[in-house]
Amino acid sequence: MHEKRMRIYLDDHLSMIVGEMELIERSLNSNRHSGLGSFLKQFLSDLRIQKEIVEKVFQCLEFEVSIQGQLKQGAAWLAEKIGRFKLNDSLLEYSDLSRVVELEAMLAVAQERIALWVTLNSLTITDVRLKDFDFSLILMQSELQLAELKTHHHSAITNAFASNH
């Protein structure tokens, strides 16, 4: 395994998961009392576990999160905070359009996370250090999350664009 590339790869994906978790927390706060909120609460819990698994992979491969990785995580956190200031149809309040845009960001990052699990799953064949991980289960979980995100996204589109309210 090309150790340097793998460490960079894991740094990048860990940073994306940090940003994804921040986005989900923000969306959860605005959708707490809905079906979407229930999903996001469980999704966030699942992502915390997935983040821990990436951190365990770091340990298993005897990598440390690099300074660049720490900076990337900080940048992902900051990018989510800055993303709150985008202009939707309501400057100070959460709107149906906010929900659509947040879900679209979650869809994009979920696809990247699925790619992470596909990659790690394929590497279990060639790197014995990863033999104790079952990435296929995490991959299935992530694919189910993506499917549910798509369902919530479709509902959000309908609510945001179906009528003027």
Q: What domains can be seen in the chain, in order of their start residue?
A: 3-161 (1.20.1260)
* pLDDT confidence of residue 45: 98
* pLDDT confidence of residue 95: 82
Query: Is a pLDDT exceeding 70 seen at residue 18?
Result: yes
Cβ within 8 Å of residue 38, ≥6 positions away: none
pTM: 0.84
Rounded CA separation 10/53 (Å): 11
Q: How many CB atoms lie within 10 A of CB 32?
A: 12
pLDDT tens-digit readout, 126-160:
999 999 999 999 999 999 999 999 999 999 999 99
Mean pLDDT over all residues of the chain?
87
Rounded CA separation 153/74 (Å): 27
Rounded CA separation 101/164 (Å): 18
* Region for residue 139 given its phi and psi (left: phi exceeds 0; alpha: psi -120 to 50; beta: otherwise): alpha
Query: Is a pLDDT exceeding 70 seen at residue 88?
Result: no
Q: What percent of the chain has pLDDT over 90?
A: 68
**C-alpha distance from residue 71 to each of 12, 66, 79, 115 (Å):** 10, 8, 12, 22
Residue recorded with tokens 């900051």: 78
Q: What percent of the chain has pLDDT over 70?
A: 81
Closest Cα partner for 159 from 36, 20, 40, 42? 36
Rounded CA separation 94/115 (Å): 31
